[in-house]
Amino acid sequence: MALARAGEASPLWIAARRQEAGRGRRGNVWESVPGNLAASLLWPGTGIEPERLATLGFVAGVALAEALEAACGVSGSGGSAPFRLKWPNDVLLGSAKLAGILLETEALPGGRRAVVIGFGVNVAGVPDSVAGAAVALAGAGFSADAPLVLEQLGERFCAAARAWDRGRGFAGIRERWLARAAGLGLPIAVGTGSATLRGRFEEIDEGGRLVILAPDGTRHTVTAGEVHFGTAATAA
C-alpha cells in the first residue's frame, strides 16, 4: 500500500522470504515461519463499485484453492477435495486452517483506489502459538514449496480476475467458491460481536454475504463475523 501511495502502478506482487509483522482480520496477528508463503498483491480498484470490490476476496479464495491443488497435484472436484474455503477468507486442509487472506482498500489522490490482497499460507510449518488449530502442507505430506505455490497463485488469480470482470462476473466466482465451501449445509455459528447466530449454512448471496437458515425457518445474512462449525456450532 505504501508503494501505491507513492504512485506504483498495479498489478504488482510482493513476496517476503521472512515476515515479522504479519496482520490478519480484525486486528489479529498473523504469524509465519521460514519457508511459508507471505505475499501481497497490489490490484487496481479505481472505478469499481465498493460492493463489487468487496467480492474480490472470493476471487482470491478460489484462486488460492486452485493454486494449492495444482501445486500439490490433487483434484479439486467433488466433496473429497482436500482444500476447502471457509467464509469469509480462510483455506482449510481437513478441519484445520492452512491459509488466510486479507483484503484492504484505500482511496488515493487523483480519484484512484488501491486494493492490497494479502496471502499467508502455511507451507513449511505452523507457528507454535496455533499448533493445535492450524496445519502446513509439509506436515500433511505435500512437497510443494512457497515459490511453486506463488507461481501457481499468480496464474490462477489472473484467470479468476478475468472471469470476475470487475465484479460483473461474480456469479460464476460464487459458484466456484461454493463448490469448495467448508460446512455448506451443516450447522454453523457466527459470532457478530454482541450476539451469536446459529443455524444451517445455506449459501453466500450475490454480495458475498453469509446466509444462515435459523431453526425457526428465518434467514439471516451476515457481512462479518467469526465462523464455527461442528460442536461449537451446536453448543447452547
Phi, psi of 143 (to 5 degrees): -100, 0
Q: CA-CA distance, 86 to 133, in Å (whole number)? A: 14
Q: CA-CA distance, 100 to 92, in Å (whole number)? A: 9
Tell me, yes or no, whether 99 and 34 share the same domain: yes
Tell me, yes or no, whether 134 and 49 share the same domain: yes
- Total residues found in the chain within this entry: 236
Domain that holds residue 121: 2-178
pLDDT at 236 (0 to 100): 47
Tell me, yes or no, whether 116 and 11 share the same domain: yes
- Cα–Cα–Cα angle for 31, 107, 39, rounded to 5 degrees: 25
119: helix, strand or coil? strand
Give the distance, in angstroms, between the CA of residue 222 and the centroid of all CA atoms in the same chain: 16
Which CATH number goes with the domain that contains 29? Answer: 3.30.930.10
Task: Determine which of 23-32, 33-42, 145-154 has the lowest per-residue pLDDT on average.
Answer: 23-32
The reported pTM is 0.92
Q: What is the pLDDT of residues 123-148, one digit of tens each?
A: 999 988 887 889 999 999 999 999 99
Q: CA-CA distance, 166 to 172, in Å (whole number)? A: 13
Give 3-state DSSP helix, strand, coil % of the chain, rounded to 5: 30, 30, 40
Q: What is the pLDDT of residues 195-235, one digit of tens each?
A: 899 999 999 999 999 999 999 999 999 998 889 987 666 66
| Averaged pLDDT of the chain | 91
Tell me, yes or no, whether 146 and 192 share the same domain: no
Q: Single out the residue of 140, 150, 133, 153 nearest to residue 17, CA to CA.
A: 150
Q: Are 106 and 113 in contact (CB under 8 A)?
A: yes
pLDDT at 133 (0 to 100): 85
